Amino acid sequence: MKRAPKNARRPGATRATAAPRGRARRLEPVGEAEVRLVVNGAEVSRTVEVRRTLADFLRENLGLTGTHLGCEHGVCGACTVLLDGQPVRSCLLFAVQATGHDVTTVEALGTPEALSPLQQAFMDHHGLQCGFCTPGILMSAHALLRDRPRATEEEIREMLGGHLCRCTGYQGILRALRAAAGLPPEPAP
Amino acid sequence: MKPAPFRYLAPRTRAEALDALRRYGPDAKLLAGGQSLVPLLAMRLARPAVIIDLNRIGDLAYVRPARAGLAIGAMTRQRAAEDDPLIAARYPLMVAALRWVGHPQIRTRGTIGGSLAHADPAAELPAVAAVLGARFVLANARRERVVDAAGFFTGYLTTALEPDEMLTEIRLPPPPTRSGWAFTEVARRHGDFALVGAAVLLVGDGEGRCAEARLAFTGVGAGPVRVPEAERMLSGERVTEALAAEIRRVVARSVEPEGDIHATADYRRHVAGVLAARALIEAAGRLEVGA
């Protein structure tokens, strides 16, 4: 697939102007659009087809391949990223919709040399095997523990319910998440 | 699994959205939270020529008191509604049902109006709207009209919305002074499409009996399904185990679900009855406390 050309950066102008009062503007639908947003703290801008999902935009246009695509229809959770801090399926959002917003992907969490505490917990407690579903789970868990550092077993399970993992049987993931939330690794009977 | 090409526009006001609908209505789809529409696009079950994105419109997401009830803007996120203190205080049934909608990661994007307008027979919110007596505000570029749940849900994935109309607001009437409520469902996994769901609202008479009962089911018909015979049997009665068992039989006999790969018609009928009894007992428990 042909790459969309990279546009000049226009720092500081992430929000489009407010609508004029009074009579409705006549809007013409477009097939391509400039997408301008902040990804992991850096402002980026590309022109893409409007049907390009945020997930494909991150992977294909920005080369951020940490975000994985499993089912591409919102079921598996592998593509979960943070949009303005909230976990969303990036396969169910068009890139053009993210203009003016702030996106955080797994690449922002830690580095191979310095894992985030959450990533370290996954490593310590065998929270992954093949790793395909892991980036999405990490993003959901990151948002949960940021808002509720002492998340309960129920909250952890509700969050994890939004993700499919075909390797681990989930128990290693749950132990990692409990550890990250300061809970005992095994649930109270 | 990529959507077919379409053209896109993102109005910033209601007026712009309605103008776009006037021009492109029959060829257009409105994009709200996208949690149902985008999968349909990805699987190419829907191939609209134009997508009208409502997410840039600032004044379609709100929860505010309206007379003694509530008005909920169609673009209110399900997650925001779930956390809204006004909704929690007046319509706890809606909060309980929202917890069954997809997963938290879906509800951060999914909207109240989007779910209602999509009208999936397995969806939770249409059943909630039916028992709460919700009214639906439908607007086009020239006028507004208001319909109730029975008038809004017209068939499988089908509503009263005309091609040039948009659902802008859901109005909930004042909650009954004394009520008992429950929502429950059966799904293969929590967050999956439910096989069958049940919403129950009991209006108390102050002495622990039901002045009125409303039951609506998901997954057993084209839209939310009420069972008037069961509602009549409950009227003026105290919910007992025996009455709940009777309602269970009436509901199982009355609903006419279709079978599919997920469950046979007989199984759905059975589950509808079981959930009716279960939800009734739970709702009646709340009625006693509040009476």
CATH class of B60-172: alpha beta
What is the value of ipTM here, to two decimals?
0.93
In sequence order, the β-bridge partners of residue A94 are A53
Q: Chain B partners of A77 at a C-beta cutoff of 8 Å?
A: 103, 105
Task: Tally the residues of chain A.
Answer: 189
Count of CB atoms situated within 10 Å of the CB of B135: 19
Q: Cα distance from A94 to chain B (closest Cα, Å)?
A: 9
Fold of A32-108: Ubiquitin-like (UB roll) (3.10.20)
- Tell me what pLDDT residue A13 has: 37
Per the CB < 8 A criterion, the answer to whether A129 and A168 are in contact is yes
- Tell me what pLDDT residue A186 has: 82
Nearest CA in chain A to B38: A92
Sequence letter at residue B168:
T
* Domain layout of chain B by residue ranges: 7-51, 60-172, 179-290
Q: Cα distance from A127 to chain B (closest Cα, Å)?
A: 20
- Label the pairing between strands A42-49 and A32-39: antiparallel
* Domain layout of chain A by residue ranges: 32-108, 117-180
- Tell me what pLDDT residue B170 has: 98
Per the CB < 8 A criterion, the answer to whether B153 and B248 are in contact is no
- Tell me what pLDDT residue A7 has: 43
> Of B27, B30, B23, which is closest to residue B49 (Cα–Cα)?
B27
Closest CB to B42: pick one of A28, A72, A80. Answer: A72
- Tell me what pLDDT residue B190 has: 81
- Tell me what pLDDT residue B289 has: 57
- Residues 13-72 of chain A whose Cβ lies under 8 A from any Cβ of chain B: 18-19, 23-31, 33, 49-51, 53, 56, 71-72
In three-state secondary structure terms, B269 is helix
Fold of B179-290: Enolase-like; domain 1 (3.30.390)
- Tell me what pLDDT residue A12 has: 37
For residues B69 and B17, what is the distance between their CA atoms, to the nearest angstrom?
A: 27
For residues B35 and B41, what is the distance between their CA atoms, to the nearest angstrom?
A: 11
Q: Take residue B63 and report the two structure tokens written for it.
A: 């929860």
Nearest CA in chain B to A87: B105
Neighbour-count burial of A153, counting CB atoms closer than 10 A to its CB (0-12 exposed, 13-18 middle, 19+ buried): middle
Q: Enter the DSSP assignment of A5.
A: P
CATH class of B7-51: alpha beta
For residues B6 and B170, what is the distance between their CA atoms, to the nearest angstrom?
A: 29
Q: What is the DSSP string of A67-107?
A: S--SSSSSSS-TTEEEETTEEEEGGGSBGGGGTT-EEE-GG
Q: Take residue B39 and report the two structure tokens written for it.
A: 């999968």
For residues B200 and B25, what is the distance between their CA atoms, to the nearest angstrom?
A: 36
Closest CB to A162: pick one of B10, B34, B105. Answer: B105
Per the CB < 8 A criterion, the answer to whether B28 and B17 are in contact is no
- Residues 113-142 of chain B whose Cβ lies under 8 A from any Cβ of chain A: none
Residues of chain B with pLDDT under 50: 290-291
**Digitized pLDDT (tens) for each residue of chain A, 189 residues in all:** 444 444 434 433 334 444 445 555 678 999 999 999 999 999 999 999 999 999 999 999 999 999 999 999 999 999 999 999 999 999 999 999 999 999 999 999 999 999 999 999 999 999 999 999 999 999 999 999 999 999 999 999 999 999 999 999 999 999 999 999 999 988 776
Alpha helices, H only, chain A = 54-56, 117-124, 134-147, 153-160, 171-180
**What is A117-180's CATH number?**
1.10.150.120
For residues A30 and A21, what is the distance between their CA atoms, to the nearest angstrom?
A: 23
Q: Cα distance from A182 to chain B (closest Cα, Å)?
A: 22
Closest CB to A31: pick one of B5, B24, B43. Answer: B5
Q: Enter the DSSP assignment of A171.
A: H
For residues A71 and A73, what is the distance between their CA atoms, to the nearest angstrom?
A: 5
